[in-house]
Structure 1
Amino acid sequence: MSTPPGTADALDLMDEWGPEKVVCVSDTRTGMRGVLVVDNTARGPGKGGTRMGPGVGVTEVARLARVMTWKWAAADLFFGGAKAGIRFDPASADKEAALRAFARSLRNEVPREYVLGLDMGLTEADAAIVQDELGDRGAAVGTPHVLGGVPYDELGVTGFGVAEAADAAAQRLGLDLGGARVSIQGFGAVGAAAARRLHELGATIVAISTRDGVLYDPAGLDLASLLALRAHAGDGVVSHYVGGSRLVAGEELTVPAEIVVPAATQDTIDLETAKAMKARLVVEGANLPTSAEAREYFRGARITVLPDFIANAGGAVAAATAMDARYSAFRPDPEAILSGISTLLRRNTAEVLEAADRGDTTPHQAAMTLARERVHKAMRLKGRLTGW
């Protein structure tokens, strides 16, 4: 049997941290193929989003599960790293059938070892489908507000947190966000919410991108118009917007801007791209957007990179609130959620940047050290280590 792209021998993925469990499932009737990776549960049960896409693979999901291990630990929230993926086209008319098949296949793990959440390709309605299929309100978070869920999309929790972290980092760099130029790669749920909050904080959004192209205006894009167009045109917002210039995909990262927010997908900033960038601050809104070589270049160029598991932890904070509220008869307070995200991410941003300065290292390495120490201590206290 040949190995499809994006997959790997599960045993080769394992190191001293995890994964603790890799479960691959399939369903012949729908064509669904999926995977659950529970990476490390030393600090709590596995929690992380579930994504759906035609190219989803085991290696990708394992990498993201590890990111969740560090994200929960860096945020000092007591859950473990996990992630799930479904190899299926989310635009298919059979999406619901595939999602139900996936949920059924994991009924031994959900919700005892893993609770489904929202990631690429899934919506609040999909979280409700999972709850219905398994007959358990605890099986998924991210359900619609009318069902008692935290309205992630409406609140824009991850993007809101990215903007709050960006503001905290800018302040530490002596960069006034008021009037600062910001370019955002990806204008989906995270990028759009980050743009909205950054605009509220006084920044000027000079570039955005979607799968359909790049918009750029050095004087600033009309954000209200962009958000209104996105509501009905989605990625087509770049085609419907009147004004600005259209650039080649990837050029949104290299336009003149003090702050760049990669909020699209992983592996978008390599060394070559990094050398062409003009930003003083890179705030990772997406997971794993920047290569290790790019981060080292940024360090030498004195460009600050705020790592993903610090900058985009707003969704994790909201998910933690939703986890506590799964069986409650009362809805979580949206204002309390946003306030908690702001407080926690601003504190974590300051802590990581201070640690990086003290240790003469990158923020990513400083954040990793902090997260690893917390996970290591939990593993040791629970008797999971020998000789460490």
Structure 2
Amino acid sequence: MTATVPNDSTLSYVQPTATSPWGTYLSQVDRVVPYLGHLGRWAETLKRPKRALIVDVPIEMDDGSVRHYEGFRVQHNLSRGPGKGGVRYHPDVNLEEVMALSAWMTVKCAAVNLPYGGAKGGIRVDPKLLSQKELEKLTRRYTSEIGIIIGPQRDIPAPDVNTNAQIMAWMMDTYSQNTGATATGVVTGKPIHLGGSLGRVKATGRGVFVTGREAARRLHLNLDGARVAVQGFGNVGGSAAELFAQAGSKIVAAQDHTGSIFNDRGFDIADLVAHVKRTGGVGGFKGAEAIDGESFWDVKCDILIPAALEAQITVERARRTTAKLVLEGANGPTTTEADDILAARGVLVVPDVICNAGGVTVSYFEWVQDFSSFFWSEDEINVRLDKIMTGALKHIWDTADHHKITLRTATFAVACERILIAREERGLYP
């Protein structure tokens, strides 16, 4: 039975359930309050977005008709710095989802100690149904509508689901045209020649691999020969799969919106990556057999990487998985009840708010490089990323060991302490 979130945590404009994105986030906050000490008096701050903007995005279509799309930008918390978070284009985007994603960004940035708050944006649209020209119009109008709250020192968007470097280039250009000066730092994830950073595209997947490598060491799990299943084979899942394959792991199963595939001996990753680039998904890959969607969760594996959308690991799937280690490449892929089941079964979960923080970390590098107009090599980027991710995970793991809590609760404890110290020291105005 689906329970509702207590009224004192419910906002008038959203009605979350225990398994919805915002409901899941609220339950995660509730679990960390006992570890915040005197800072617990500020905990309600974490349960309320600072600012939520809903905008109408009208565009003229190629056939001359006018259509309206609904856009969102939510700034969850700005105590530690300007907002940071992606923009997704998806037909299921809604305010509650964007609120939760912005809140997870707040926690994620604090977990790796970046000087950012959390934000997120999106448009309810299926971008596959739009031409390139319509997509550009949509992006530029959306950017103009949210332009009142974004900026290099206010809120910095980035790519997310169904958005990319081209989308960011249009956003940067639109903002720059509206402000009268080129502002490369208004977005990250841009094309390299427009101030983008080397290593940004694969940064989130690299972060998943780095945290997975460290977790495997703790579990005494040898990556050489380890069986890996990956849900979502885009920039995150695909990049992580490549790195695990380079470490000797066997990628035995993959799933995305085009289908689910399995090969007990492991895929030829180079062939699979080429197939995905050519066709847009894993479906139809000749180096594997097709399986149905639910069978993916029954595949024998050591490491499971959910790198698609929210709430993919349900109670039932948590009971069935054979994985010893779950690496959350997506945001909020595990429901709260499923998380408890995995913990009870002894499955180690490296939570999204640290596992997939590689993307925002390299976005921070890009932002810094834009301000200084001095750019680093890809090797420098990767070394810096590895150092930050490894150090952040060690601190979180020490906290988990000290309090005898899960890595998720420990990550929230570390992050929320940093957020609420900033909130307390800044005080309330007026």
TM-score, shorter chain, exceeding 0.5: yes
Pick the aligned partner of 1:129 from 145, 166, 170: 170
Identity of aligned residues (%): 31
CA deviation digits over 1:348-383, x for unaligned, max 9? Answer: 223323322332221111111111111111111111
Give the whole-Å Cα distance in 1 for the aligned partners of 2:78 and 2:54. 19
Give the TM-score taking structure 2 as reference length.
0.83
CA distance in 1 between partners of 2:69 and 2:101 (Å):
20
1:103 aligns with 2:148: no
Distance in 2, matches of 1:21 and 1:213, equals: 38
Q: Aligned-pair distance for 1:11?
A: 7.3
Matches within 5 A, 1:190-209: 190-209=236-255
Give, as a single letter, the amino acid of the residue that structure 2 aligns with 1:337: I
Q: Which residue of 2 aligns with 1:188?
A: 234
Moved more, 176-185 or 345-354: 345-354
Pick closer, same or farther for the CA change 1:117–1:251 going to 2, 3 Å: same
**Following the alignment from structure 1 to structure 2, what is the Cα–Cα distance between the partners of residues 353 and 181?**
24
Structure 1's 214 and 31: CA in aligned 2 closer, same or farther, altered over 3 A?
same
Task: Show the counterpart of 2:85.
Answer: 48
Q: Does 1:24 align with 2:48?
A: no
Q: Deviations over 1:218-267 (max 9, x none)?
A: 211111110111121111x330x223321111332331111100011110
Partner of residue 367, structure 2:
323
Q: The residue matched to 1:117 in structure 2 has which SS?
A: strand
Q: Which deviates more, 40-49 or 354-363? A: 354-363
2:198–2:377 contact (8 Å) kept in structure 1 = no
Residue number among 258, 261, 283 corresponding to 1:238 in the alignment:
283
Matching residue of 1:59: 96
Q: Quick one: which amino acid aligns to residue 303 of structure 1? A: V
Task: Tell me the matched-pair count.
Answer: 376
Given the alignment of the two structures, is residue 142 of structure 1 paired with residue 170 of structure 2, yes or no? no
CA-CA distance at 1:330 after TM superposition = 3.3
Q: How does 1:1-388 map to 2 (within 5 A)?
A: 9-10=12-13, 15-17=44-46, 18-29=48-59, 30-91=67-128, 92-93=130-131, 94-111=134-151, 112-135=153-176, 136-151=183-198, 155-235=201-281, 237-239=282-284, 241-384=285-428
Q: Secondary structure at the match of 1:348?
A: helix
Q: Distance between the aligned counterparts of 1:128 and 1:22, measured in 2? A: 24
Deviation readout 1:82-132 (Å, 9 max, x if unpaired): 111112222212111111111111222120421121111111011111111
Give the whole-Å Cα distance in 2 for the aligned partners of 1:357 and 1:131: 44
Distance 2:369 2:329 in 1: 26
Helix, strand or coil at the partner of 1:149: coil
Structure 1: distance between partners of 2:382 and 2:13: 38
Contact 1:89-1:95 within 8 A present in 2 as well: no
Q: RMSD across aligned C-alpha pairs, in angstroms?
A: 1.9
Counterpart CA distance in 2 for 1:138 and 1:26 is 25
Distance in 2 between the 1:60 and 1:356 partners?
A: 28
Question: Which stretch of the first structure deviates more once superposed, 124-133 or 322-331?
Answer: 322-331
Distance (whole Å) between structure 1 residues aligned to residue 339 and residue 392 of structure 2: 19
Aligned-partner Cα distance in 1 for 2:315–2:252 = 23
Structure 1 residue 49 displacement after superposition: 0.6
Q: Which stretch of structure 1 is more off in the superposition, 88-97 or 65-74?
A: 88-97
Between the aligned partners of 2:163 and 2:376, the Cα distance in structure 1 is: 22
Judge conservation of contact 2:14–2:96 (CA < 8 Å) in 1: no
Deviation string 1:257-280 (CA, Å, 9 cap, x unpaired) is 111000111100011110001111
1:118 to 1:152, Cα distance in 2 relative to 1, 3 A: farther
- Which secondary structure state, in structure 2, belongs to the residue aligned with residue 31 of structure 1? strand
Q: Is the contact made by 1:32 and 1:101 (CA closer than 8 Å) also made in structure 2? A: no
Q: Residue deviations 1:309-362, cap 9 Å, x none?
A: 110000011110111123443333222211122122222223323322332221
- For residue 52 of structure 1, give the secondary structure of its aligned residue in structure 2: strand
Q: How far apart are the structure 1 equivalents of 2:340 and 2:277?
A: 38
Deviations 1:57-81 (A, max 9, x none): 1000000000000000111111001
Q: 1:19 Cα deviation (Å)?
A: 0.7
CA gap 1:122/1:151 in 2 versus in 1, 3 angstroms: farther
Bigger mean CA deviation after superposition, 166-175 or 106-115? 106-115
Answer whether contact 2:54 2:73 (CA < 8 A) is retained: yes
**CA distance in structure 2 between the aligned counterparts of 1:245 and 1:352, rounded to whole angstroms:** 39
**AA matched with 2:141:** A
